[in-house]
Amino acid sequence: MRLSVLVRSGILAIGFMSLAACSGVTPHGGDLAAAVTAPASSLPSNVFTVDQWSTVTARFAQEQSEPMALCASGSDAAQCPAARWASLVAELSQLPLRDRVERVNAAFNALPYIPAAQNWGDPMYWETPYELLAKGGQCEDYAIAKFLALAQSGVPESALHFIVVHDSVSQLDHAITLVTVDGEDLVLDNQVDDVLPAASVSRYTPYYSLNDGGIQVFARPADRMAAQLALRPDGGFTVARY
């Protein structure tokens, strides 16, 4: 079953865990319709915590309540991350949805790819959009920023999905944003400049997805899934490293 079909049928829902690896920038091209062998059993939303997502969105809410805090003293106010974010969101809100999707993808893909280990000394650190604008970031940071920019520009979260996937080309884990526009699921990916229909992409297999719905995890074969997911005592979960 294709990723786009899973999303449209309502099977994909909220889920979040630690991104174990990020594939960085690889050559463009290839297909982008994920062949999911079988969805894992549905999981009630209280089974897993979504601590990383909760942490990064709470930090961003705090930053937005003090928007000038990340601006260097004496710097050009227009180049402050908060000002750049506000300008982009205002621009997006005036565009038709398909143009909005193209614009947000291009805006964030233009930022430098900097691994979290280099930026923060922690490969698991997830950046707020302001931090991405200030320092560059890695795949989940692009996906988070695109998701939140579209949401703050007025796109309903029911049309948005943050999806963590396995990339069969790089053999690494990766994060993308998926947006439904006029019934078509479009993929926003820091590895690809073009916004592509999900139905045309086969390199990605989804682990889990997040929007405003609930929690569900997706499997490749069951024996592989068992090796990849490890429940933690605190109720969270992690995905194995490659």
CATH number reported for the structural domain that contains residue 54 in this entry: 3.10.620.30
pLDDT computed for residue 197 by the predictor: 93
Does 91 fall in a domain?
yes
pLDDT digit string, tens, across residues 65-80: 988 777 766 567 768 9
The average pLDDT across 6-27 equals: 39
**Is residue 38's pLDDT more than 60?**
no
pLDDT digit string, tens, across residues 83-99: 999 999 999 999 999 99
pLDDT computed for residue 24 by the predictor: 38
Q: Where are the beta strands (DSSP E) in 44-201?
A: 160-167, 172-181, 184-189, 192-197
Look up residue 209 and give its amino acid: S
Does 71 fall in a domain?
no
**Is residue 228's pLDDT more than 90?**
no
Does 185 fall in a domain?
yes
Does 200 fall in a domain?
yes
**Number of domains forming the structure of the chain:** 1
Does 7 fall in a domain?
yes
Does 75 fall in a domain?
no
User: Which residue segment(s) compose the domain that 116 sits in?
Assistant: 3-64+81-239
Higher confidence at residue 25 or residue 115? 115
Per the CB < 8 A criterion, the answer to whether 162 and 209 are in contact is yes
Highest mean pLDDT among 21-30, 71-80, 224-233: 71-80
**Is residue 15's pLDDT more than 70?**
no
Which pair of tokens denotes residue 142?
A: 């692009």
DSSP letter (8 states) at residue 132: H
pLDDT computed for residue 21 by the predictor: 53
What is the rounded distance in angstroms from the CA atom of residue 199 to the CA atom of residue 186? 8
pLDDT computed for residue 221 by the predictor: 36
Does 70 fall in a domain?
no
pLDDT computed for residue 26 by the predictor: 32
Percent of the chain's residues with pLDDT above 90: 44
pLDDT digit string, tens, across residues 157-215: 889 988 888 888 888 889 999 999 999 999 999 999 999 999 898 888 887 787 766 54
**Integer angstrom CA distances of residue 34 from 90, 147, 203:** 33, 20, 6
Does 76 fall in a domain?
no
